[in-house]
Amino acid sequence: MAAAFSPSQILLLSILFTALTSASADFYRDAEITWGDGRANILDGGRQLTLSLDQYSGSGFQSKNEYLFGRFDMQMKLVPGNSAGTVTTFFLSSQGAGHDEIDFEFLGNSSGEPYTVHTNVYAGGKGDKEQQFRLWFDPTSSFHTYSIVWNPQRIIFMVDNIPIRVFNNHEAIGTPFPKTQAMRVYCSLWNADDWATQGGRVKTDWSKAPFLAAYRNFNINSAASDSVNSAATWKTQELDAQGRNRLRWVQQKYMVYNYCSDSKRFAQRIPPECNRSRF
Ligand SMILES: *[C@@H]1O[C@H](CO)[C@@H](O)[C@H](O)[C@H]1NC(C)=O
Ligand SMILES: *[C@@H]1O[C@H](CO)[C@@H](O)[C@H](O)[C@H]1NC(C)=O
């Protein structure tokens, strides 16, 4: 089947979406730098945050508040050039044993070779729900918006408002789903050249350090902020026909790993939720 929409339509959609979400966002107010000893910096009056990584350390920040469900948007510009061995993250996580987590991780690559977008969902401390994607643009040349919609029915991962993955609540057939533990937003830039790039074969070139990733327009809609955002579409958000078309387009053209199709890994028993949805 042909692409559901053209590159120019995608561009238009991203511009529109960027315009709609570029309000507010203040890293001084909403976030705290948690590690990296000066390698993380808030710029531009709180509107931008940069993380850096060198031989000695990476860096990271987290949201001040915790949230139980919501929509979480972040614009990111990833490490340019040879980013092999670097991992840039934007994820939600609860704390303590049996934790829940919803992940976006961007695995760097050699110059000119594509990033891998790694997604995963943990419930009660158990993950193993990976899907990985390529992007249809260069994530290092400009900012793009990465979003997590999390409600009791499903989790939707989006890139520039295009759904790339839906993880439905399949508790009814025994698949745990994160829905009781509040989570914080975490972002980090760190080194993982033992596994991140081509299975660890391509190492970080430290002569290119420091590596730098930038974040802006951190935007959260959750129960706490809904008084100012009465629409709160995230609460019941699901895909309409157009969303399903876009998801199909991404999954057919850009998905490079799906745990549901990994019959070697799940030789005994493919996880039950994999039978329920084609995605
Ligand atoms: C890096 O690029 C190579 C070649 O295109 C690809 O095989 C690999 O999966 C890419 N991503 C990572 C994270 O290694
Ligand atoms: C999934 O569906 C296939 C074919 O319909 C069936 O053979 C298999 O037992 C199902 N697996 C699970 C885990 O439900």
Which residue's alpha carbon is nearest to atom 6 within ligand 2?
A: 275
Domain that holds residue 155: 24-275
Dump pLDDT digits (tens) for 27-63.
999 999 999 999 999 999 999 999 999 999 999 999 9
For residues 115 and 135, is the Cβ–Cβ distance under 8 A?
Answer: yes
**Is the pLDDT confidence value at 23 over 80?**
no
Instruction: Indicate which ligand has the atom closest to the C-alpha of 87.
Output: 1
Give ∠ CA 4-216-190 in degrees, rounded to 5: 95
The verdict on residue 4 lying in a domain is no
Which residue's alpha carbon is nearest to atom 4 within ligand 2?
A: 275
pLDDT, average across residues 216-244: 79
Q: What is the pLDDT of residue 278?
A: 47
Q: What is the pLDDT of residue 268?
A: 85
The verdict on residue 209 lying in a domain is yes
**Is the pLDDT confidence value at 20 over 50?**
no
Residue 118 to residues 96, 107, 211, 230, 244: CA-CA distances in angstroms?
A: 23, 7, 20, 32, 20
For residues 165 and 262, is the Cβ–Cβ distance under 8 A?
Answer: no
Between the CA of 257 and the centroid of ligand 2 the distance, in Å, is 20
Query: Is 105 noted as a catalytic residue in this protein?
Result: yes
Task: Extract the tokens encoding 222.
Answer: 């959750």
The verdict on residue 51 lying in a domain is yes
Between the CA of 256 and the centroid of ligand 1 the distance, in Å, is 10
The verdict on residue 11 lying in a domain is no
* Cβ(148) – ligand 1 distance below 6 Å: no
Catalytic annotation, pick one of 32, 66, 101, 238: 101
Q: What percent of the chain has pLDDT over 70?
A: 87
Grade residue 210 by pLDDT with cuts at 50, 70 and 90.
Answer: very high
Distance CA 2, CA 160 (A): 20
**Is the pLDDT confidence value at 22 over 50?**
no
CATH of the domain at 173: 2.60.120.200
The verdict on residue 14 lying in a domain is no
The verdict on residue 18 lying in a domain is no
pTM of the model: 0.87
Dump pLDDT digits (tens) for 101-110.
999 999 999 9
Between the CA of 17 and the centroid of ligand 2 the distance, in Å, is 40
The verdict on residue 17 lying in a domain is no
Instruction: Indicate which ligand has the atom closest to the C-alpha of 257.
Output: 1
**Number of folded domains that form the chain:** 1
* Cβ(277) – ligand 2 distance below 6 Å: no
Atom of ligand 1 nearest to the CA of 256: 9
The verdict on residue 6 lying in a domain is no
Between the CA of 275 and the centroid of ligand 2 the distance, in Å, is 6
Give ∠ CA 101-145-89 in degrees, rounded to 5: 40
Distance CA 21, CA 79 (A): 23
Which residue's alpha carbon is nearest to atom 10 within ligand 2?
A: 275
| 42-46, 142-146, 233-237: segment of lowest average pLDDT | 233-237
